């Protein structure tokens, strides 16, 4: 819809420090670098401690998050990657399976911002990744922060 605007929640604030892991699949390195920059800026704005790990591809992102989630040392996670449609159905498998795995981890209690782009071409990815444009990396980090705040809110209630 042309001219549509999106409502963006106010950034949450935290009384206790936040530790977040960014898991990035840098297959399209320029896209990944822009998304990481956007995510880091959002996390820096709340004073989060940030670690970053790289994995080979989008399918490995949920596995890496699962390993880190089980370790129990992070409050939340930002998943970053990019899947560009090709000539085969591999695109559908990677998009669906990575998204489903992240959703299942979230339903298990992991606070995850999903920043795995699924696009038709590199140009679409570039606009979405650019922190000065759609800033999907920053949006994924914001989603993780909101889930962390919600988790802490409910943990504080009896």
Active site residues: 90
The four Cα atoms 137, 142, 145, 151 give a dihedral, to 10 degrees, of: -120
Question: How distant is the alpha carbon of residue 70 from its chain centre?
Answer: 18
Name the DSSP class of 118: E
Q: Which of 49, 48, 46, 44 is nearest to 13 (CA)?
A: 46
The enclosing H or E element of 65 equals: helix 60-71
């Amino acid at each position: 819809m042309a001219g549509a605007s999106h409502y963006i929640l106010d950034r949450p604030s935290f009384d206790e420090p936040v530790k977040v892991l960014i898991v990035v699949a840098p297959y399209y390195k320029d896209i990944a670098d822009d998304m990481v920059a956007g995510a880091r800026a959002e996390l820096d704005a709340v004073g989060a401690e940030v670690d970053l790990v790289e994995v080979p591809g989008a399918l490995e992102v949920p596995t890496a998050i699962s390993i880190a989630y089980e370790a129990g040392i992070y409050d939340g996670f930002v998943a970053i990657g990019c899947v560009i449609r090709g000539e085969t159905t591999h695109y559908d498998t990677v998009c669906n399976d990575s998204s489903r795995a992240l959703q299942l981890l979230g339903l298990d209690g992991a606070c995850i911002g999903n920043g795995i782009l699924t696009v038709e071409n590199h140009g679409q990815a570039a606009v979405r990744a650019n922190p000065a444009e759609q800033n999907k990396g920053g949006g994924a980090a914001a989603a993780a922060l909101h889930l962390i705040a919600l988790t802490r809110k409910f943990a504080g209630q009896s």
